[in-house]
Amino acid sequence: MLDNQPLIRTTLLKVAELAGATVVNDCFHRFSPQGVSGVVVIAESHLSIHTWPECGYAALDFFTCKPGMPMEAAFECLRTELQPGQMEILMIERVQLAPYPIARLR
């Protein structure tokens, strides 16, 4: 499954939908001889995935600036579609930025 680009794309788009994200665009690439990388750009930020089928490993990042997204449904979709033997989830809350710009570009 980790080398199946259409499945991975469909799954990540479904994950974004289940999380209530607004999909802007997506781009996926299958490497030769194996592996898939892809990104789903969402209005709230992005999802990305990189797979290493030869190692039985995939890394997925889901960045969002929208609080309260129903991530449990998204995680369950990943579990159902990709059927990992083990799944580790690390959620990191972003800190609230100061109400003024940290850097100003001109």
Query: Domains in the chain, please, with CATH?
Result: 5-82 (3.60.90.10)
State the pLDDT confidence band at 5, using cuts at 50, 70 and 90: very high
Looking at 29, 32, 46, 65, which residue is catalytic?
A: 65
Is 46 assigned a catalytic role? no
Confidence (pTM): 0.81
Mean pLDDT (the chain, rounded):
86
The pLDDT of residue 47 is above 60? yes
Is 45 assigned a catalytic role? yes
CA distance 21 to 23: 6
Looking at 32, 37, 45, 46, which residue is catalytic?
A: 45
Is 48 assigned a catalytic role? no
How does pLDDT run across 8-43, given as a tens digit for each residue?
A: 999 999 999 999 999 999 999 999 999 999 999 999
Q: What is the mean pLDDT of residues 64-78?
A: 83
